[in-house]
Amino acid sequence: MKVCPSCNARYPDTLRFCSQDGVPLECVVLADPFIGAVAGGTYCLTERLGSGGFGSVYRAQHLRTPLAAAVKVLDAGRAADPDMVGRFQQEVAALAVLQHPNIVRILDHGFQADLGYYMAMELLAGSDVGKALDAGRRFTILEVAAIADQTLLALELAHGRGVIHRDVKVENIFLSEDPSRPEGFCVKLLDFGLARLSEPMVAQTGATVGRGNYRSTASRVFGSVATMAPEALTGRAVDARADLYGLGVVLYELLAGEMPYVAMTIDDLLKVMTTTQPVRPTQLAGGVWLPVEMEEFLMTAIARPPELRWSTAAAMRQGFESALPAAEKAWARFFLAPEVVAQLAVPIEPPLPPLHRTLARERPAVLVVDDDKVLRGLVSGLVRAAGCDCEAMADGLEAVQWLRDHPPPDAIVADLLMPGLDGLSMVTAARRAGYNGAVILCTSVATDRLRAGAAQLQRAWTLDKATELYRVPELLRRAGVAPPPT
């Protein structure tokens, strides 16, 4: 393998100069024999990202474009196992026909003597849900809603094309960084190595090895036990409802903080999952906040008999959407309101001198703009509690039009990152139109451009949506907008 001494870019031995800066390349010897290999004559493996039961995943650089990819390589030992080769080819066949924004995209695949079986996929930045939970992250109700919605869209496509994933779990739900989305991520469903393909799909893709029938038996169970449907654990045939069960367990853990079944050993877990009913989430400390609508949704999703579960991904998605409004309100009351009340008791800085008001009003007017309806409602409540009238909107473009047609408000509280017109662009447009009032920008995910632009605004503050919303009344008082507390 060769390396550029200037930029440290890595290249195969056949190249002489760095394609980025033209510097002559130097030969290096690396411990990993696959580093420097070129998959399919296109992707040069530059770094090992991780390994698992199938082999290893490498970061790879496209030799003719700036594109980077992830290349999965089946290790030599498993390449001698027909079952492992079949699973690998099965995943290739599944991904080849499942082109969807919420399913990891395959770019190339094949076999070559110096590498073995490989597949190149899009390179993702972010973390899977499992690692996020291990790091102590507690997901908001809207983040859980995004995970549920996007994963179900992926499963709806897969099931419609005759593919059953059979290993839906937190480790296979990847949150790819996407600052353009309100939740800050795009779900990518990973690892179709255990997928079962329908007979028409087998015929269409040519995945003849194993014919997609790696079925669990009493002595051999594929997949993660905790999220496997009871029928899969006992060796019975599975259908799309097994995937919906797995996602139901994932959503149960995200919303209640624990799994529906707990045991000390794998054998004990297998026994309780196949012979007892799951614990209702409201009986757990982390699930006491759940309203009955969401609890019933979860219990339907993880029902032991398949016929009692949601029948399709579309039906489960509709069921979640029906339960979501009640869950949003309950989540805001349980997780946000107590914190706000507690923080408001903390002494605050004295307010700044009042500013001259351009229009006489009985109460100060504040414009609240946030595409997140739960947080929009929460901020509106804080504004009113501070003694101000509130006009709430969900869209930056709508807010700009409102500002053109109405007298200027005394303050604007806006989400910094919104689809369409972001908060910074909206406030900039308002400033150009003559608005010189106070601005409070709230964000949890934002680009460097947005943060830098917000820092340059006059009479503006930036708050973290997750931890600092309680400061909205304080800042309105400091800006001379809200009256002093009585």
CATH number of 2-122: 3.30.200.20
53 pLDDT more than 70 = no
CA distance 485 to 163: 60
Domain with CATH 3.40.50.2300 in the chain: 347-478
Pair of tokens at residue 218: 């009493």
Question: CB–CB of 214/202 below 8 Å?
Answer: no
User: For residue range 363-374, what is the model confidence (pLDDT) as tens digits?
Assistant: 899 999 998 888
**pLDDT of the residue at 217:** 36
Pair of tokens at residue 362: 């009985």
Give the architecture (CATH level 2) of 126-336: Orthogonal Bundle (1.10)
Contacts of 467 (CB under 8 A, 6+ apart): none
User: For residue range 128-161, what is the model confidence (pLDDT) as tens digits?
Assistant: 999 999 888 889 999 999 999 999 999 999 999 9
207 pLDDT more than 60 = no
128 is catalytic: no
Residue of 128, 167, 370, 372 marked catalytic = 167
Separation of first and last alpha carbons in the chain: 72
Residue corresponding to tokens 């469903």: 189
Average pLDDT over every residue of 96-120: 90
Domain with CATH 1.10.510.10 in the chain: 126-336
Q: CA 409 → CA 111, 196, 238, 398, distances in Å? A: 65, 58, 59, 15
Average pLDDT, the chain: 82
What CATH class is the domain 347-478? Answer: alpha beta
Pair of tokens at residue 119: 């597949």
**pLDDT of the residue at 129:** 95
Domain with CATH 3.30.200.20 in the chain: 2-122
23 pLDDT more than 90 = no
Contacts of 391 (CB under 8 A, 6+ apart): 365, 366, 367, 368, 402, 406, 409
Percent of the chain with pLDDT over 70: 86
Q: Kindly report which listed range (26-35, 129-138, 162-171, 240-249) carries the lowest average pLDDT score.
A: 26-35
